[in-house]
Amino acid sequence: MDYKELSQLIYPEITKTPEDYEAMYPPRNLPEGAMVTRLGPSPTGFIHLGNLYGAFVDERLAHQSGGVFYLRIEDTDDKRFVENAVETVISSLGFFDIKFDEGVTEHGDVGDYGDYTQSHRGEIYRTFAKWLIAQGKAYPCFLTSEEIDSIRAEQEAQKLAPGIYAGWSRYRDWDKDPEIQAEVISKIKAGEDFVIRLRSEGTPNAAGQDIKRNKVVDAIRGGLDVPENFQDIVIIKTTGIPTYHFAHVIDDHLMRTTHVVRGEEWLPSLPIHVELFRDMGWELPVYCHTAQLMKIGEEGHKRKLSKRKDPELSLSYYRDMGYHPAAVREYLLTILNSNFEEWRIANPEADIDQFKFTTEKMSNSGALFDLDKLNDVSKDVLLRIPAEELAQFLKNWSDEFAPEYGFMFEDMDYLTQILNIGRGDKKPRKDLIYARQIVSFISYFFDESFKIEDKYPEEAAEDADEILREYLSTYDHSDDQSQWFEKIREIASSCGYAAKPKDYKKNPDDYKGHVGHVSTVIRIALMGRAQSPDVWTIQQIMGEKKVRQRIEQALTDR
Ligand code: GLU
């Protein structure tokens, strides 16, 4: 029996050839330099910051170059499939403005290079596996797990590299030994379990011999010196399902991917992919191995973000907290490209998409993720978003994640004015960070969420009632800011407080306190807090009725 006959015995139902698929999926008709990228998540239902980080790179590379970014579902590990996982991927990334041009969508596949779900591509993988067997580049292997264990023990004893490679699987050279050949044929006919292994052309590193190396260019890391693969890795599992290695090579070739962006955890298997592409006679895509996302852990050491310890690893965290997608995007760019912050300083108002993202400016050692930094970036980004738009964003967030704040959205004009406080100033206030923080920050504007949080200052606590009564009786809602403040000074003086803090500082014994203590009493009665933006401005937004009600309430509550 020759290779070809063996391939026919294993896959009699496969009638297509690699040429058929090459013809079905011709090179894409795209302008010179256009990049084709993909995201290949496993449908586990957990979509994390790392996915977003990688997807951002994919999206930028494709869309900056006039190329294509597509979604492929990598569900060859069928144990992990979670209901609605595909919708979760699409909607989670869509929220951050990462949009696919092609591939799996909520309404089926879009594009000419599908099917885009690996579990639907069995015939394709088998066709290429059949072809490799027919070339003598792959073989069926019947080693049991016990046999593999004892091979490993033997390799350990001999201090050899572990694994199945030349000299270790008796099935590798089945064609040279009539006895093994007969065994292989009868086992296939009897329907016994087997895997298909690559018949690696690499040379195992015998003692004292250096392993050969290949040069591979990584767009983030530059030239890599990759050791040659010599392992007869499994390409098709006993279940008939391909391994990641094989599926990735076939798919990225047939879908005409130009740039493979993936996590650096795949670097160790790069030698396998280099060999597979070569065995298939295909050009290697440009690999972009992204750095791990790290954080400064509790003990001050850099460590990987962990699913168990760090809620911020999950994308749902940002949506639940109500981070604006523009803020997350802006922050991701600061960790993705070292020159982004400089660009932003030079172009404070520019649309983020005008920044030219490049893989060369990406870090190749752990990218540091820092929530405090995200919050700082978010403060600036929210300042650039018009208040009406921000109000709508908050409403959408509340509808989905925090309906208990629904009362804040009954009067959108009121909310918009609240959000606008201090934004137009020369040194604008940077109070707003993310939805959960914002609704708490502005809670005192609404009777439903207003509560007294701080105590009256000691200096003025005893006179609080008098101060508030005075305030109420002299209050005129049409006073401008300086008239209003003049009245506060008068109240201060009449109650025995210095009208100017500096007078109090000079002669503290002459006064009970100063005007600041008096205005804090008013502030606490109105806002429940000792700190807030400008009181006069807030009163103008709240309206006269609410101002009077709050002061009266403070008087009766005491
Ligand atoms: N399915 C792989 C994963 O979830 C994708 C790796 C790749 O992008 O090639 O890690």
| 124 assigned to some structural domain | yes
CB 329 within 8 A of CB 97: yes
| 129 assigned to some structural domain | yes
| pLDDT at residue 15, rounded to an integer | 97
Strands 138-141 and 195-198: antiparallel
- What is the DSSP code string of 346-367? H-TTS-GGGS---GGGS-SS-E
| 41 Cβ closer than 6 Å to some ligand 1 atom | yes
| 42 Cβ closer than 6 Å to some ligand 1 atom | yes
Domain count, the chain: 2
Please tell me the distance from the alpha carbon of residue 384 to that of residue 352, in angstroms, as a whole number: 12
- Boundary of a domain, candidates 290, 322, 343: 290
| pLDDT at residue 207, rounded to an integer | 55
Cα distances from 58 to residues 115, 257, 413, 442, in angstroms, run 20, 11, 39, 38
The residue with greater pLDDT, 46 or 182, is 182
Categorize the per-residue pLDDT at 86 as very low, low, confident or very high, splitting at 50, 70 and 90. confident
| 95 assigned to some structural domain | no
- Boundary of a domain, candidates 266, 290, 314: 290
| pLDDT at residue 81, rounded to an integer | 67
What does the pLDDT look like over 58-81, one tens digit per residue? Answer: 999 999 999 999 999 999 876 666
What does the pLDDT look like over 517-546, one tens digit per residue? Answer: 999 999 999 999 999 999 999 999 999 999
Percent of the chain exceeding pLDDT 90 equals 89
- Which residues, 6+ apart, have CB-to-CB distance to 429 below 8 Å? 421, 422, 423, 533
- Over residues 451-471, the mean pLDDT reads 96
- Over residues 191-216, the mean pLDDT reads 87
- Over residues 252-276, the mean pLDDT reads 97
What does the pLDDT look like over 421-460, one tens digit per residue? Answer: 999 888 999 999 999 999 999 999 999 999 999 999 999 9
Give the ligand 1 atom nearest the CA of 261. Answer: 8
- Boundary of a domain, candidates 238, 265, 290: 290
CA–centroid distance, 266 to ligand 1, in Å, is 8
For residue 115, say if its preceding peptide bond is cis, omega within 30 degrees of 0. yes
| 87 assigned to some structural domain | no
Give the ligand 1 atom nearest the CA of 252. Answer: 9
CATH value at residue 184: 3.40.50.620
Categorize the per-residue pLDDT at 204 as very low, low, confident or very high, splitting at 50, 70 and 90. confident
Residue 261 pLDDT exceeds 90: yes
Backbone φ and ψ for 227, nearest 5 degrees, come out as: -65, 150
CA–centroid distance, 70 to ligand 1, in Å, is 13
Please tell me the distance from the alpha carbon of residue 431 to that of residue 445, in angstroms, as a whole number: 15
Taking CA atoms only, the protein residue closest to ligand 1 atom 10 is: 41
Taking CA atoms only, the protein residue closest to ligand 1 atom 3 is: 41
| pLDDT at residue 133, rounded to an integer | 98
CB 471 within 8 A of CB 551: yes
| 289 Cβ closer than 6 Å to some ligand 1 atom | no
* Confidence (pTM): 0.89
The residue with greater pLDDT, 84 or 202, is 202
- Over residues 464-468, the mean pLDDT reads 96
| pLDDT at residue 211, rounded to an integer | 80
Please tell me the distance from the alpha carbon of residue 185 to that of residue 6, in angstroms, as a whole number: 8
| 251 Cβ closer than 6 Å to some ligand 1 atom | no
What does the pLDDT look like over 379-407, one tens digit per residue? Answer: 999 999 999 999 999 999 999 999 999 99
CATH value at residue 523: 1.10.10.350
Residue 210 pLDDT exceeds 90: no
What does the pLDDT look like over 507-521, one tens digit per residue? Answer: 999 999 999 999 999
CA–centroid distance, 320 to ligand 1, in Å, is 26
| 248 Cβ closer than 6 Å to some ligand 1 atom | yes
Percent of the chain exceeding pLDDT 70 equals 98
Question: Which range scores top for mean pLDDT: 71-80, 139-148, 203-212, 329-338?
Answer: 139-148
| pLDDT at residue 205, rounded to an integer | 72
CB 54 within 8 A of CB 261: yes
Q: How many CB atoms lie within 10 A of CB 442?
A: 21
Taking CA atoms only, the protein residue closest to ligand 1 atom 9 is: 262
| pLDDT at residue 550, rounded to an integer | 97
DSSP 380: H
Categorize the per-residue pLDDT at 488 as very low, low, confident or very high, splitting at 50, 70 and 90. very high
Which of 266, 272, 284 maximizes ligand 1 atoms within 8 Å of its Cβ, making it the mutation to test the pocket?
A: 266
| 45 assigned to some structural domain | no
Categorize the per-residue pLDDT at 298 as very low, low, confident or very high, splitting at 50, 70 and 90. confident
307 annotated ligand binder: yes
Q: How many CB atoms lie within 10 A of CB 169?
A: 21
| 187 assigned to some structural domain | yes
CA–centroid distance, 245 to ligand 1, in Å, is 10
- Over residues 141-161, the mean pLDDT reads 96
| pLDDT at residue 557, rounded to an integer | 80
| 327 assigned to some structural domain | no
Please tell me the distance from the alpha carbon of residue 471 to that of residue 519, in angstroms, as a whole number: 10
CA–centroid distance, 257 to ligand 1, in Å, is 14
| pLDDT at residue 363, rounded to an integer | 82
Residue 85 pLDDT exceeds 90: no
Residue 129 pLDDT exceeds 70: yes
Q: Which of 138-142, 143-147, 211-215 has the lowest mean pLDDT?
A: 211-215
Structural domain for 130, as ranges: 3-16+120-290
Please tell me the distance from the alpha carbon of residue 1 to that of residue 9, in angstroms, as a whole number: 10
Cα distances from 535 to residues 157, 421, 481, 523, in angstroms, run 80, 11, 9, 7
| 473 assigned to some structural domain | yes
| 262 Cβ closer than 6 Å to some ligand 1 atom | yes
| pLDDT at residue 217, rounded to an integer | 94
**Tokens 């270790």 sit on residue:** 168
Which of 48, 56, 74 maximizes ligand 1 atoms within 8 Å of its Cβ, making it the mutation to test the pocket?
A: 74
Q: Which of 190-199, 257-266, 360-369 has the lowest mean pLDDT?
A: 360-369
